[in-house]
Structure 1
Amino acid sequence: MSESSILHSALARVPILKHIGSRSLSDSSPAASVSHDGRNLAIIALGSNIPDRFANIEAGLRLLEDNREETQILETSFMYETDPMYVTAQDRFANCACLIATTLSPLKLLQKLKNIESTVGRVKTFRNGPRVVDLDIIFYNDEIFDSRAQGVMEEEGHLIVPHVRMHEREFVLRPCADIIPHYIHPLLGYSIADLLGQVANPQIPIRKILPLPPLSVGTERCWILSKKTYIMATLNVTPDSFSDGGQHSSIEDAVTYVHNSVAQGADIIDIGGYSTRPGAAFVSPEEELRRVVPVIQRLREQGLTVPISVDTFRASVADAALAVGADIINDVRALDEDPAMRAVAGKRGVPVILMHSRPGDAGKNKGYADLGGVIAGVKKELGENVSKARRTGGIRRWSVVVDPGIGFNKSVEDNLTLLRHHATLTDSGPVTATPQKSLRAAWEDQQRLETERPMEGMPTLIGASRKSFLGRVIGDPDRDPSLRAWATAAAVTVAVQQKTDIVRVHDIKEMKDVLAIADAVWRAD
């Protein structure tokens, strides 16, 4: 297959990443394998406004940890799209930040960052102008450092830590606040959260985004979160799925369904070859591959441009699907059943949808009383898997979508409770942190807080479409699942009220109308 083929994986589509190389499938997260104790901590801000912005940033991150004894990424922020500042006649930026542990001195770290910028392709233009990638040291431990000679006022070409202009830049403060919100600026005496509050401008909002793999070199795709609810069309290429089993078993039927779904308003196609309904038959990895991969390949050959997610809990299926054009892994086991799944996701650098479920049959193991109820139970169990994915898989924070698993190992009342309150799974909740003058203490405090709310701020997906609990609620459990569209519409509306970002549905045309009204009501601001 040629390197220019649109069927390549996301990383293979980006020239700089070919030279850097992907992380080995056996690689674990640096945070899992090397302690940062005794080394320096630094916050690095990254930005790009030349396509592919997200691949440029990812390339910078992979180069940053090319020697993990020297520089090791401990945490990442969310990804944001921001309007340009200072020189406004240029394209929007993608911005994020990371926390690293390093053995390098401030000036040697600066030199490494400049070398990374050059390798990725940055060419010097003019101050505050467009750039392929920009990596800035924001904090280095709690040090106050200025490489300029006495009396020199020029900033360009010198290292000043803390970064001399960070306090006026929301595009720096907001991602820093994802990592160390309660760290007190060594010179200004305000926490990062307080500094952010001083500059945040609701009239010029910074948009949280979900980067998607590009279809070809020099292009990019992303979803702006909170702006609309995205529609995921459900394609089961199985003989036994609960609602549409056997309807799309041939490649031709599957492809027709996808094109019709896109024409009706689908934003993404979710393709699965292994039914997860209660009592579903076992499917071998070989059979799952046979069902899924040719459909994805045919769709990309026909020029389909909408994102495709592969619904699987097997690393071999996910890797093969991504290789022929899938963009996202949708795993009902939250990357926790197949030991290689987290490594595949980290290597490929794609978004992951992590769903809550429990081992075994989806219709069993429904008790949550010992965990304080279903909300607390899902927060704990799914949160643990989210943390493992990020800590031991090297998966960026901005790549994670969470799904509370409506209909999986839950009672009817549990499903209703999750629909009614699932926004609490990702809400920040009350803050109990103490402002810290030490970067290390601020980071350790934030880690403690994230054990209590590991999914804070993450986008969510709800999949309630046609499910059996809807039939029970309306008093007609034996009604054919395809006739539960009205009940699904009500569930979708509640999901939007609870700020979900993606709904997984079967009736695309009807749910598009439902979302048009629900978004107009609940996303009016």
Structure 2
Amino acid sequence: MFHARPRTDLPRPDSARPLAGSAHVWWSDPVTDDPELIAAVSTPRPVLPGLPADRPLVMGIVNVTPDSFSDGGTAQSVEAAVERARAMVTAGADILDIGGESTRPGATDVPVEAEIARVAPVIRAIRAAGLVTPISIDTRKAAVAEVALQAGADIVNDVSALGWDARMASVVAEAGVPVCLMHAQGTPQTMQRDPQYGDVLTEVYDYLARRMDWAVKQGIDPARLIADPGIGFGKTQAHNLTLLQGLSAFHALGAPILLGASRKRFIGTISGVEVADRRVAGSVAVALFAASQGAQILRVHDVAETVQALALWRALTSLGGPE
């Protein structure tokens, strides 16, 4: 696992190379002169045509579930979900992530029909409202993904890395859409029962590499793959911090990195904030750290605050000042 060490300081030396195409994060490693490796770590990772590939994208979370850990029950109606989506787009969201099943620790499975009934009307209504922002469907189920894609979704976000539903890989391959593969140890019912790793960074990296290889063998275009280390999914606080501190290692996978840490328990534990929706400042701090590691997609609840913070971060890390 080659680990390009990210930097954002200025001025940049002549040997500086963009990290995964970033205009703000660079790397320079004198120990390698392998042109293929240099290109693999430096090349931009576009997610979808029309979306910038040189800065972090903000993915706004729209949960249409009664039991999500942070905002369950707050967007239960189609109208409320559309208004939340509209507000996020106005605030600067690049992608909307629609989910109809909570995967928080201890959550129970939602029947396919119920999940479809939650997400499909919302996606259709978002499109009917004239919002053209790319939509990600957050699901483990092939049938849900199929209906969501037909309704207007553009990306599949699968927390099981195509491992929950045997048909999911073929659905994604046939649709030709990007798919996010996330690492999780265990299921939502079991994942926080004393998770163990020998070397969490290496083990999560190797798992994602294997799932990516498998996905390609199922006919999925490697350029359509997105990798997510799965913060909080079968990890202790120490595991989460290790993954965040080593996040840039995942660039060697050759895929965009999605980071979803917004409002999660470890932020509350470290900051002393028990109520999830009051962890905004801590969540923004983690998002900025992930940006400094070259993450391409930041999945967040608090779009306006994250977009504002990133605007300042981008200005401070740009050679010519504000973009």
TM-score norm. by structure 1 comes to 0.52
> Does the 8 A contact of 2:59 with 2:95 survive in 1?
yes
Residues of 1 paired with 2:62 and 2:212: CA distance? Answer: 25
* Aligned-residue CA RMSD (Å): 2.2
Compare CA radii of gyration and give the structure with the larger one. 1
- Tell me the CA shift for residue 339 of structure 1: 0.5
- Tell me the CA shift for residue 386 of structure 1: 1.3
Residue 363 (str. 1) matches residue 196 (str. 2) = no
- Tell me the CA shift for residue 524 of structure 1: 4.7
Residue 223 (str. 1) matches residue 51 (str. 2) = yes
Deviations 1:380-403 (A, max 9, x none): 222211111111x21111101111
Q: Counterparts in 2 of 1:73-112, with a 5 A limit?
A: none
Residue 400 (str. 1) matches residue 225 (str. 2) = yes
Match of 1:330 in 2: 157
> Does the 8 A contact of 1:228 with 1:523 survive in 2?
no
Identify the match of residue 419 of structure 1 among 229, 239, 244: 244
Residues of 1 paired with 2:141 and 2:229: CA distance? Answer: 20
Deviations 1:450-481 (A, max 9, x none): xxxxx2x21101111100011111134xx211
Match of 1:493 in 2: 288
Residue identity matched to 2:186:
P
Residues of 2 paired with 1:365 and 1:337: CA distance? Answer: 22
Stretches (4+) displaced over 4 A: 205-208, 522-525
Residue 316 (str. 1) matches residue 143 (str. 2) = yes
Q: Counterparts in 2 of 1:369-518, with a 5 A limit?
A: 369=198, 373-391=199-217, 393-427=218-252, 455=253, 457-476=254-273, 479-518=274-313
- Tell me the CA shift for residue 282 of structure 1: 2.4
Match of 1:234 in 2: 61
Residues of 2 paired with 1:509 and 1:224: CA distance? Answer: 18
Q: Kindly tell me the number of residue pairs found equivalent between the two proteins.
A: 284
Name the structure, 1 or 2, with higher relative contact order (CA <8 Å, separation 6+): 2
> Does the 8 A contact of 1:356 with 1:382 survive in 2?
yes
> Does the 8 A contact of 1:229 with 1:502 survive in 2?
yes
Match of 2:13 in 1: none
> Does the 8 A contact of 1:312 with 1:318 survive in 2?
yes
- Tell me the CA shift for residue 523 of structure 1: 5.8
> Does the 8 A contact of 2:186 with 2:234 survive in 1?
no
Equivalent position SS for 1:486: helix
Q: Which runs of 5+ in 2 are unaligned?
A: 1-33
TM-score norm. by structure 2 comes to 0.83
Residues of 2 paired with 1:390 and 1:263: CA distance? Answer: 36
Residue identity matched to 2:153:
A
> Does the 8 A contact of 1:258 with 1:269 survive in 2?
yes
- Tell me the CA shift for residue 354 of structure 1: 0.9
Residues of 2 paired with 1:417 and 1:480: CA distance? Answer: 24
> Does the 8 A contact of 2:46 with 2:256 survive in 1?
no
> Does the 8 A contact of 2:250 with 2:257 survive in 1?
no
> Does the 8 A contact of 1:251 with 1:295 survive in 2?
yes
Deviations 1:256-297 (A, max 9, x none): 100011011111100000000011122100000000001001
- Tell me the CA shift for residue 337 of structure 1: 1.2
Residues of 2 paired with 1:363 and 1:250: CA distance? Answer: 31
Q: Counterparts in 2 of 1:8-407, with a 5 A limit?
A: 193=35, 208-210=45-47, 212=48, 221-225=49-53, 227-360=54-187, 361=189, 362-364=191-193, 366-369=195-198, 373-391=199-217, 393-407=218-232
Residues of 2 paired with 1:273 and 1:234: CA distance? Answer: 11
Equivalent position SS for 1:368: coil
> Does the 8 A contact of 1:237 with 1:249 survive in 2?
yes
Deviations 1:92-113 (A, max 9, x none): xxxxxxxxxxxxxxxxxxxxxx
Cα distance change, pair 376–523 in 1 and its aligned pair in 2 (3 A): farther
- Tell me the CA shift for residue 517 of structure 1: 2.1
> Does the 8 A contact of 1:406 with 1:463 survive in 2?
yes
> Does the 8 A contact of 2:159 with 2:184 survive in 1?
yes
Residues of 2 paired with 1:208 and 1:424: CA distance? Answer: 15
Cα distance change, pair 374–287 in 1 and its aligned pair in 2 (3 A): same
Cα distance change, pair 206–240 in 1 and its aligned pair in 2 (3 A): closer
> Does the 8 A contact of 2:185 with 2:235 survive in 1?
no
Match of 1:444 in 2: none
Residues of 2 paired with 1:415 and 1:483: CA distance? Answer: 20
Equivalent position SS for 1:338: coil
Residues of 1 paired with 2:137 and 2:319: CA distance? Answer: 32
Residues of 1 paired with 2:130 and 2:137: CA distance? Answer: 18
Residues of 2 paired with 1:419 and 1:484: CA distance? Answer: 17
Residues of 2 paired with 1:308 and 1:319: CA distance? Answer: 13
Residues of 2 paired with 1:484 and 1:472: CA distance? Answer: 10
Residue identity matched to 2:197:
Y
